Amino acid sequence: MNFLSQLTGCFALPCAENPTVAMVEAAYQHHGLDWRYINCEVGPDKLADAVLGARAMGWQGFNCSLPNKVEVIQYLDGLGESAKIIGAVNCAVRRDDQLIGENTDGKGFLESLKEKVDPAGKSLVMFGAGGAARAIGVETALAGLTKITVVNRSVDRGQELATLLSEKTLAHVEFVEWNGEYSIPEGTDIVVNSTSIGLFPDVEARLALNMDSVTANMLVADVIPNPPRTILVREAEQKGCAVIDGLGMLVNQGVIGIKYWTGIDVDPSVMRSKLEEIFAG
């Protein structure tokens, strides 16, 4: 039997109620896989010991969440291409005797995006400049997006992400300070909310976005997994836009992680159903 683990920060949720655990275990059960995915609460002070423990016990890998995504890098043996650029790891994978850090958040988003549109040659407006935005920006730029506009409230963080994307990818990148209602420029192909606006319990919070500037030819994506049908998703649908909700990214990062660890392609619909069941309450 193989154990994978999620080295989380300080989640107060018991294991059975952790959506990621439930989602991954649902896939294992559905495919009859003799694997386990368990949740351990590990703070930065015990991270070194936890990674040593994972190595000692022969774990095939683990996920890690905030606040461990950057701290964990020093305890790993190497990084995948996008994790190196993003500077954060949410998934460690044992390859031979090494633990390699990957970032599957952006890859999960990219997978959802590719189900609807080929990002090559497209332009993206992205709200936010935190960890999710970083992962999405890097991964979509590596996939061939030609233009990225980073729209963020805090100038320092927004500018830092725009500089990183300009320096490390081929995309043309622009930063816009978000200090009022923003109008999406004509010709934009993809709009992404990668801020935490709309996350439960603040479900009525809205982006300062002029919805009149959102047109049916744009694809609109939201990273918020709970609730999946955010105000942005609903309003974009009413405009006739193709939409991607936050469950797509969450499910696909899980599918990619399981593939890294076990080599097996699992059915994403089983994982999505489990999350819908949990988030429906």
Q: Which residues are annotated as catalytic?
A: 69
CB-based contacts of 174, cutoff 8 Å, min separation 6: 147, 148, 149, 150, 162
CB-based contacts of 186, cutoff 8 Å, min separation 6: none
Handedness of CA 90, 93, 99, 100 (dihedral sign): negative
Stretch of residues binding ligand NDP (CB under 6 A), selected from 6-14, 23-31, 114-122, 147-155 = 147-155
Closer CB to ligand NDP, residue 60 or residue 104?
A: 104
Rule CB under 6 A: which of 178-237 touch ligand NDP?
194-197, 199, 223-225
Rule CB under 6 A: which of 97-116 touch ligand NDP?
105, 108
The nearest distance, CB 25 to ligand NDP, in angstroms, is: 17
Contact between 70 and ligand NDP by CB under 6 A: the answer reads: no
Closer CB to ligand NDP, residue 149 or residue 194?
A: 194
Stretch of residues binding ligand NDP (CB under 6 A), selected from 24-32, 184-192, 243-251, 270-278 = 243-251
The nearest distance, CB 96 to ligand NDP, in angstroms, is: 29
Q: Give me the DSSP letters along 40-68.
A: EE--GGGHHHHHHHHHHTT--EEEE-TTS
Closer CB to ligand NDP, residue 108 or residue 170?
A: 108
Contact between 131 and ligand NDP by CB under 6 A: the answer reads: yes
CA dihedral 140, 143, 149, 154 (to 10 degrees): 40
Contact between 128 and ligand NDP by CB under 6 A: the answer reads: yes
DSSP class of 95? E
Handedness of CA 6, 12, 15, 16 (dihedral sign): negative
The bridge status of strand 61-64 relative to strand 91-95 is: antiparallel
- Beta bridge mates, 130: none
Binding region for ligand NDP (CB under 6 A): 105, 108, 128-133, 152-154, 157, 194-197, 199, 223-225, 246, 249-250, 253
